[in-house]
Amino acid sequence: MSLPDDDERLVRLVHDLRTPLTVIAGFAELLERGIDRLTEEQRTEYVGRIASAARELREILDSERAERLSADEA
Amino acid sequence: MAPPGTTPSMGDRVTAIVCDDAPGFRALLSALLEDAGVEVVARGETWAEAVELAPGIDAVVVDLWMPELELDALATIREITRGSTLAVVTALDLDEARNRIGDIDVDLLLSKIAPPGDVAAAIRDNALARRGGAPVPEEA
């Protein structure tokens, strides 16, 4: 079933996915680049940010899947 | 806090504020700017905070979607930051973002999916050029 606002939903979904993806890539880059000079506190924070962004991605995808299933059943 | 319209800091380091309602990206961009030698003096998560924090800063960095685009707030920030750098970051496609901004004259429109280090470097270089009167770099 095609939703009437599919295009806008897709724009929103892509937007919502990009931010946590960028956070994961960016903090990984910082860790890779500065692994020797970062403090223990910074390393811990950056790893935590990566884990948090990964959880956010999973939640977005789970939510999108649930909405799709609900729309298909309607 | 300096009143609106004051000139940006003339200290050694470029100063910046970062406003984004996504805490992870706000932290990332702050860390990248610090890594690039920029002093991030404040962070915010709303358009109202961005307007309040913008005066006297070398580089004002705002997310386009906090949680929606507020064109009036963006235009106000532009007026406050004449002479300093106004950088807009977005997870939208850049053409889509340009359309939504319309004729508001931002200095940098940067994609959140660009290499993160390049985004921070573009902001720093634009602010340094404005401060030094050198030609302003093109968008990254």
* Cα B10 from Cα B97, distance rounded (Å): 32
Tens digit of pLDDT for each residue in A17-72?
A: 988 999 999 999 899 988 788 999 999 999 999 999 999 999 999 998 888 888 77
Per-residue tokens: A31: 């860790």
Q: B24–A34: do the CB atoms touch at under 8 Å?
A: no
At B104, phi and psi to the nearest 5? -70, 130
The residue ranges of every structural domain in chain A are: 6-73
Burial degree of B94 (CB within 10 A; 0-12, 13-18, 19+): middle
**CA distances for B107 relative to B8, B9, B88, angstroms:** 15, 18, 8
Domains and CATH numbers, chain B: 15-131 (3.40.50.2300)
Q: Mean pLDDT per 10-residue run, chain B (140 residues)?
A: 48 90 93 93 95 95 88 93 93 90 95 88 94 60
Q: A18–B65: do the CB atoms touch at under 8 Å?
A: no
DSSP category for residue B18? E
Residues 53-112 in B contacting A (C-alpha not used; CB under 8 Å)? 65, 91-92, 96, 112
**Which fold does the domain A6-73 belong to in CATH?**
Helix Hairpins (1.10.287)
CB-based contact, B31 to chain A, within 8 Å: yes
Contacts of A56 in chain B (CB under 8 A): 24
Q: Which helix (H) or strand (E) holds B59?
A: strand B59-63
| Test mutation, A12, A13, A16, A23, chain B, max B CBs within 10 A | A23
